[in-house]
Amino acid sequence: MSQKPEKLIDKKGLRLDGRKPDELRPIKIEVGVLSNADGSAYIEQGKNKILAAVYGPKELHPKHMALPDRMVLRCRYHMAPFSVQERKSPAPSRREIELSKVIREAIEPAIFVEYYPRTATDVFVEVLQADGSTRCTSITAASLALADAGIPMRDLVVACSAGKVEDTIVLDLMDIEDKVGSADVPVAYMPNLGVITLLQMDGILTPEEFEKAVNLAIDGCKKIYAMQKEALKAKYVSVKEVEE
């Protein structure tokens, strides 16, 4: 499985899983899946399976960590030991701690943190199965869980990656494309406001390629955004039906 395949893109221009370069993986989203959390969301994007849960806002302990002018957002990204091929130690790794920070900073601009001073909100992201671009999928799920918890937000945050595989700019990288390909650009975006909240790059791209990748990722975000809204409304669809 971890052997390097000869070609990531075949003669017809299709990728290993048969996708076109600008095609997303199939996505399934569900909101409000956990009854003990204030808000929750579950997302499947290709082989990625990610669960997000939100608790709060609530009183912050220890108290000295509370901020007098805004809410503290805490985020924990964690990969289950069975989420990857080789068992992963359940202890938080350097990478997971960094991703926790990255996800927190990507969703914080969307939240009205200044409305609830001296409180804290916890976001837990649990990766059950990983197959590339988990940080993007996590951000998409976390922002849905926040909306489900009833926390006021400027917009939903969506994230999607783009990258370069064998001289082609492709959308929504999976694990093998991320590892073998030459560049990966994850982008988090608030579509209604047109604001980018996360932009990273791993690898080498020319300025033209970079611009192309970012625009491709933003287009992908917009597609996921529609699905995200649909999933959030689906929880309350009975509300609408009874009304009509």
Partner 1 sequence: MPTFFERRQIVTPGDLLAEGDYIAGENTYKEGNRIYAARIGLVEYEDKKVSVVALRAFYIPRVGDTVIGTVVEVGFSGWTVDINAPYLAMLRASDVLNRPFKPQKNDLTEVLDVGDLVVAKIVSYDRTHNPQLSVDEPGLGKITRGQIVKITPTKIPRVIGKKGSMISMIKQETGCHIILGHNGIILITGKSLEDEELAMMAIHKIEEESHTTGLTDRILQMIKKEKEKRGGS
Q: What residues line the site for partner 1 (CB under 8 A)?
A: 38-39, 56-59, 68, 110, 112, 116-119, 147-156, 190-193, 229, 232-233, 236, 239-240, 242-243
| Closer of 125 and 156 to partner 1 (Cβ) | 156
Closest by Cα among 109, 196, 181, 192 to 146: 109
| Minimum distance from residue 197 beta carbon to partner 1 (Å) | 13
d(CA 237, CA 132): 32
d(CA 149, CA 73): 14
| Minimum distance from residue 56 beta carbon to partner 1 (Å) | 7
**Number of helices and strands in the chain (H, E):** 5, 10
Query: Are the C-beta atoms of residues 72 and 66 closer than 8 Å to each other?
Result: yes
| Minimum distance from residue 146 beta carbon to partner 1 (Å) | 9
Q: What Cα–Cα distance (Å) separates residue 46 from each residue in 27, 28, 224? A: 6, 9, 13
| Closer of 58 and 87 to partner 1 (Cβ) | 58
| Closer of 144 and 213 to partner 1 (Cβ) | 144
| Minimum distance from residue 15 beta carbon to partner 1 (Å) | 31
Let me know if 240 is exposed, middle or buried by CB neighbors in 10 A (0-12, 13-18, 19+): exposed
| Closer of 111 and 205 to partner 1 (Cβ) | 111
Helix 207-234 and helix 134-148, axial crossing angle in degrees, nearest 10: 30
| Minimum distance from residue 121 beta carbon to partner 1 (Å) | 9
Which two three-digit tokens encode residue 204? 């080498």
* DSSP symbol at 15: B
| Closer of 16 and 195 to partner 1 (Cβ) | 195
| Closer of 66 and 128 to partner 1 (Cβ) | 66
| Minimum distance from residue 113 beta carbon to partner 1 (Å) | 12
